[in-house]
Amino acid sequence: MEWLNNYVRPEVARGIGQLIGINISFVVVMMVVAYTVLAERRVLAFIQGRLGPNRVGYGGILQPFADLLKFIFKEEITPAKATKFVYFLAPIIAVTAAFMPMIVYPFGPTINLPFFGPVTLVVARFDIGLLYVLGITSVGVYGIALAGWASNSKYSLMGGLRASAQMISYELSLGLSLVGVVLLSGTLDLYGIVEQQSGWYGMHWNILFQPLGFIVYLISAIAETNRVPFDLPEAETELVAGFHTEYSALKFALFFMAEYINMFTVSVLATTLFLGGFNGPGVATFPALGVVYFMAKIFFFLFLYIWLRGTLPRFRFDQLMNFGWKFLLPLAILNVILTASVMFETDSCYADCFTIHSLRRTGYRLRRLDGSPAQPALRGHLADRRFRLAGVPLRDARRAVYRRRAGHSLRGRDHGARRLRHHAA
């Protein structure tokens, strides 16, 4: 929106652009969430041999709007002994924490729009975007825990406690699964991580180098969003409805929306970090294709959520805790260790080859610049210091540099040639 700079100050223009981007993101996410609910009901009906909702609109396409009207006109019921302020605050915290990460996700590359010029499809870009996402999403557990406590119901309280224990347990595995991607990319900027995956005609995806990290992330993300088979906080066979048992009408709708927004959020994060984001074949030539690729990858993850719900049974709570602490967390730590070790060895190899070659030339330049043979120790100290900084074995490094110097000394009039030949041997 560079044309807006002609009418207002650049700071104001940037703020207007971000405000427009936030509103567009809100509308897009709400529409995706609404039709994800409809798709889930239809897909589960297909898996179970039923028809699903097909009465409102053609093929049931208007069903989300009918559900919205139903929530609006349902009776609001508040428990008499509930802690009112916290009771009403909890669903607001849950849905706000689910929405806020949307501003840092890159939904596509920079594209040219009529009347607007070049537009970057990310609302706000900053260097610690990944930390921002992890920090905000971890706040969502407060909404669930406070809802269970404020309802003054044993079932709700048990659901809130389960949610807290589950999200703390699997948050560790989820965070550690992303460390490998950060090591590969060298940045916490989500847009930078996507750009780092743009090689190989848009197919240089991190999942090729982090398959174990991707599997750990996927399992942890499903547990974080309280979806089957990890939906213990709202297990209807044990806790009536879990933490939102005492919620109705729009308050229940906010929790319902927060769950599906979180599904969308973790799908976007998986797409951004592991599947190349908006990268794909032809994006460099036709940037608008990036948006199509990005949404297609997100829909794949959303379908996977629905498929798992119609396929897998629910864990027991002790199984869920044991799986998170005894299997998934050690696997995430192992992935970090393997990634760091491989990168260290790779970087050391590159450092050996590159630094020995460059310091051969560096040693020769040092000799030419202060060419006096009265300062051999100074040259050796400078070379040794550079090799230590690069992590190259000093014995091999000195041998390479001394041989280079000895070769030039034999052809010149350096009185230290005999000493250099002795060291080179």
Domain of residue 369: give its range: 344-424
Task: Give domain status of residue 14, yes or no.
Answer: no
What pLDDT does residue 414 have?
Answer: 43
Confidence of residue 322 (pLDDT cuts 50, 70, 90): very high
The domain boundary, picked from 315, 335, 358, lies at: 315
Task: Give domain status of residue 127, yes or no.
Answer: yes
* Of 256 and 234, more confident: 256
**How large is the average pLDDT for residues 312-335?**
91
Question: pLDDT tens digits, residue range 195-236?
Answer: 999 888 889 999 999 999 999 999 999 998 888 888 877 766
Percentage with pLDDT > 90 across the chain:
41
Q: Could you tell me if 360 and 311 lie in one domain?
A: no
User: By the 8 A CB rule, do 360 and 408 touch?
Assistant: no
Total structural domains within the chain: 2
Task: Give domain status of residue 122, yes or no.
Answer: yes
**How large is the average pLDDT for residues 328-350?**
86
3-state secondary structure of 127: coil
What pLDDT does residue 395 have?
Answer: 54
Task: Give domain status of residue 31, yes or no.
Answer: no
Q: Could you tell me if 146 and 185 lie in one domain?
A: yes
Q: Whole-angstrom Cα distance, residue 328 to residue 101?
A: 25
Task: Give domain status of residue 12, yes or no.
Answer: no
Collect all residues with Cβ–Cβ distance below 8 Å to 404 and sequence separation of at least 6: 360, 363, 364
| Cα 139 to chain centroid, rounded | 16
Tell whether the model's pLDDT for residue 413 goes beyond 50: no
What pLDDT does residue 274 have?
Answer: 95
What stretches of 24-168 adopt beta strand conformation (E)?
110-113, 117-120
Q: Could you tell me if 353 and 282 lie in one domain?
A: no
What pLDDT does residue 339 have?
Answer: 93
Q: Could you tell me if 357 and 295 lie in one domain?
A: no
What pLDDT does residue 382 have?
Answer: 47
The CB-based long-range contact list for 344-353 (8 Å cut-off, 24+ gap) reads: 347/391, 348/391, 351/390, 351/391, 351/392, 352/392, 352/393, 352/396
Q: Could you tell me if 171 and 219 lie in one domain?
A: yes
Task: Give domain status of residue 235, yes or no.
Answer: yes
Q: Could you tell me if 253 and 402 lie in one domain?
A: no
Q: Could you tell me if 150 and 260 lie in one domain?
A: yes
Q: Could you tell me if 156 and 229 lie in one domain?
A: yes
What's the mean pLDDT when you consider all of the chain? Answer: 81
**How large is the average pLDDT for residues 336-354?**
74
Collect all residues with Cβ–Cβ distance below 8 Å to 157 and sequence separation of at least 6: 148, 149, 151
Q: Could you tell me if 305 and 376 lie in one domain?
A: no
Task: Give domain status of residue 182, yes or no.
Answer: yes
| Cα 309 to chain centroid, rounded | 23
**How large is the average pLDDT for residues 297-309?**
93
Q: Could you tell me if 352 and 303 lie in one domain?
A: no
Task: Give domain status of residue 193, yes or no.
Answer: yes
* pTM (two decimals): 0.78
Question: pLDDT tens digits, residue range 23-77?
Answer: 999 999 999 999 999 999 999 999 999 989 999 988 899 999 999 999 889 888 8
Collect all residues with Cβ–Cβ distance below 8 Å to 56 and sequence separation of at least 6: 62, 63, 65, 66
Confidence of residue 373 (pLDDT cuts 50, 70, 90): very low
Q: Could you tell me if 244 and 143 lie in one domain?
A: yes
Q: Could you tell me if 92 and 220 lie in one domain?
A: yes
What pLDDT does residue 403 have?
Answer: 52
Collect all residues with Cβ–Cβ distance below 8 Å to 178 and sequence separation of at least 6: 130, 134, 213, 217, 273
Q: Which residue has the tokens 């990005």?
A: 294
